[in-house]
Amino acid sequence: MIARITLSSVTLPLKQAISDAKVLTGRQRPMTEVAFLFAEVRTTDGLDGLGFGYSKRAGGRAQYAHAAEVAHELIGEDPNDIGRLWTKLAWAGASVGRSGAATQAIAAIDVALWDLKAKRAGLPLAKLLGAYRDSVRCYDTSGGFLHEPVERVLDNAEAARAAGIGGVKIKVGHPSPAVDLARVRAVRDRLGDDVPLMVDANQQWDRPVATRVGRALEEFDLTWIEEPLDADDVDGHAALARSLDTPIASGEMLTSVAEHVRLLDAVDVIQPDAPRIGGITQFQRLAALAEHHHLTLAPHFAMEIHVHLAAAYPHEPWVEHFDWLHPLFNERLDIRDGRIHLSGRPGLGVTLSEQARAWTVAHTVIQKGPE
């Protein structure tokens, strides 16, 4: 039975301020930190599960507060009944909805329950879910942001390849499409034609610009164009996918399975984020739908979670590599030959570092009786 749930709000400072197209268009400020919600679930027989979610810029405190308000519902419950417990938590906070911060708060606890279940079985999470492979293709994003001059982007791309990462994604959506095209051309020339290359506009184009720039990008044989349009513009994504040879990818900003369902017939690559849509329980529901639509799966961010979920997807997926989270965990993922290889460690295979504990800004222990 579940005896205790410990929730921690952790603020991860970034080494430098990060800017993508949303900053250049004036819609957001540069990002300087990421807020994480960690959930640690302990059972009466002394087993522990670890899960996490996150928020960029705003929302971290809301996630933490909501989790602290509903987590007591699980004390005394059987941690193996993960689907039922997800529903119980969702109903506990139903008045604030079934997407956004409410379900993102549940996600951290849900991931912890899956980590716990895999540890109880003595298996990596991917094996518990039913892995199709022991490694997953990966691509780097952290070196391709728009605040970086193109020379640094080129150096970062080469460093990523040298570190064993398979593909490279760079940000586009600059106010001048000519700048985007010049940066893409420079990266393609440096990497050669055989290296998978993706671009990400972060929803900053309208339909005419996305069409014009998308056609200009065709010559670079991109693996995909990501978020060319507003995440809710399903019809626009579908029209763009029909008009271009380059695959269209989207989904990371959606915060429920229901929101993704409308996108399944509009894109070629679906990019759900388990912490954003409510955890592994919801991700598995969406993955089944995506497989039915024969979509490529490329989960967003949180590679420590997503490598397991991608390994359990029937079609060959991608996982996004970010080095931002390295200080939070004691372990590192095994990256070589263009792929992330599963470790033999049970569960997610990661434990919280002392640095993560030091960055904790709020902490709650939920259990029966005194702490």
The residues assigned a catalytic role are 171, 300
Tell me if 21 is assigned to a ligand binding site: yes
Q: Does 156 count as an annotated binding residue?
A: no
Question: Is 3 flagged in the annotation as binding?
Answer: no
Q: Is residue 148 a known part of a binding site? A: no
Ligand-binding annotation for 119, yes or no, is no
Please check if 288 is assigned to a binding site: no
- Please check if 320 is assigned to a binding site: yes
56 assigned binding-site residue: yes
Does the annotation list 80 as a binding residue? no
Q: Is 227 annotated as a binding residue?
A: no
Q: What is the 3-state secondary structure (H, E, C) of the chain?
A: CEEEEEEEEEEEEEEEEECCHHHHCCCCCCEEEEEEEEEEEEECCCCEEEEEEEEECCCHHHHHHHHHHHHHHHCCCCCCCHHHHHHHHHHHCHHHCCCCHHHHHHHHHHHHHHHHHHHHHCCEHHHHHCCCCCEEEEEECCCCCCCCCHHHHHHHHHHHHHCCCCEEEEECCCCCHHHHHHHHHHHHHHHCCCCCEEEECCCCCCHHHHHHHHHHHHHHCCCEEECCCCCCCHHHHHHHHHHCCCCEEECCCCCCHHHHHCCCCCCCEECCCHHHHCCHHHHHHHHHHHHHCCCEECCCCCHHHHHHHHHCCCCCCEEEECCCCHHHECCCCEEECCEEECCCCCECCCCECHHHHHCEEEEEEEECCCC
Residues annotated as binding site for substrate? Answer: 20-22, 56-57, 169, 202, 320
Residues annotated as binding site? Answer: 20-22, 56-57, 169, 200, 202, 226, 252, 320
Residues annotated as binding site for Mg(2+)? Answer: 200, 226, 252
